[in-house]
Structure 1
Amino acid sequence: MPDPLVLGFDTSAAHCAAVLLRGDRVLAERHEEMGKGQAERLMPMLDDVLAEGGADWAALDRIGVGIGPGNFTGIRLSVSAARGLALALKIPAFGVSVLDALALGAEGPLVACLDARRGKVFLQVHGRGDSAPVMADVDDLPDGLGGLPCVGSGAEAVAARIGGTVQAARFTPASAIARIAAVRSLDGLERPAPLYLRQADAAPPREAPPAILP
């Protein structure tokens, strides 16, 4: 049976990234840094990746999407796109934690960590009794991290606090997401769901809503 053709994408951080993957072979890949505009760029980028890889939407077997943690709006965008595409194409979509993607292919334990801004990081230990993903203050990190290598956009800050080293991820975000999705089991498959570790920046209104008169 041939390896599945997988489209992976991610907009959980200040980028728009996509890859077309079959087995270990990347057929096409795009990665563009952008602080905003992912909503307008994502679908054209997916079209470009498919065209460059010599495929069309009907040829896809699976979708992999980054579910965060990261930017609230970016996560919601990608997850919604993955759900819609999976429904339209009648193929499975797999949600992949970006922290898991960072750790893919690593040798030995490490801390996957992402800059969460405001002096905070999203982090997760891999390869040593894997922990659950958490958000923590850089100055008040969980115990037991001492000396571990760190990978991700928050690696330098975390490594400086725990006496660890900084290392590069083995794969780009979209490529890692697609690779994980390619080997995920279909048993118990659920729709991709956002991994939010922090509430959205938008705050609820402070004033009470107007009363509705009879």
Structure 2
Amino acid sequence: MLVLAFDTATPAVTAALHDGERVLAESTTIDARRHGELLVPTIETVLREAGAALRDVTAIVAGSGPGPYTGLRVGLMTAQALSTALDIPAYGLCTLDAVAYGSGSTGPFLAATDARRKEVFWARYADFRTRSDGPHVDRPADVPGELPLVGAGAGMYAEVFGAERVLEAAPYPYAGFMAALAAERLAAGVELDPPRPIYLRRPDAVVPKAPKKVTA
């Protein structure tokens, strides 16, 4: 097994290679505006550091969000393209699941990422491997419960959630966590989702309406 995982649903452009037992290489750049420019070089970096070639990869896992429309599509379209070119399976993994996994928390807790528009994407977890509710998108003040929180969305709105509820944990869905979780599930025979985006809001871009008629 050689799993190539990557995520572009948050400002972290991240990729990792996992051999079924450990992360062989991982690389991350925090840049919310250059997902399309950074992802392929990041993948090339982890392959080079692991001493592997793209043809050695046996499965691809991409973060399926939720996340901003454009960034999210970069990772998922790359996964589908590589899957077709290499004739290997591609899977999607909820980005919040990777955030939760990286926390190592035995739960219950919430994971939250920045959804922009002064909102967060969030989900509830029984422990770091098990999502029990979500994902959802809400304003921080409307996120229910008094559970501890992890993730960049929690840190951004600590004054709303209460600083005492925000746990010390990795803020982003680093690909090493994603690859490890996917490898666990694949080894256990758990069926992973297809690489399709989790959209919780409509995109900002809309089809222009017909121009108004102007009469003399």
Which TM bucket (shorter chain)?
Answer: 0.7 to 0.9
Aligned to 2:92: 95
Aligned to 1:153: 152
Amino acid at match of 1:184: R
Aligned to 1:37: 34
What is the RMSD of the two structures over their aligned residues, measured on CA atoms? 2.5
Matched, 1:85 2:85: no
Aligned to 1:117: 116
Say which is worse superposed, 121-130 or 183-192, in terms of deviation: 183-192
2: distance between equivalents of 1:141 and 1:187? 30
Aligned to 2:199: 196
CA deviation digits over 1:5-55, x for unaligned, max 9? 111111112231111112342211111111222212211221221111010
What 5-or-longer segments of structure 1 have no aligned partner? none
Change (3 A) 1:208 1:9: same
Between Structure 1 and Structure 2, the one with more helix by share is: 2
Aligned to 1:167: 168
Aligned to 1:6: 3
CA deviation digits over 1:70-104, x for unaligned, max 9? 12111111101101111221222120111111111
Amino acid at match of 2:140: V
1:133 Cα deviation (Å)? 0.7
Aligned to 1:141: 143
Aligned to 2:183: 182
Change (3 A) 1:191 1:140: closer
Change (3 A) 1:116 1:40: same
Say which is worse superposed, 109-118 or 14-23, in terms of deviation: 14-23
1:122 Cα deviation (Å)? 0.7
Normalised by the length of structure 1, the TM-score is: 0.85
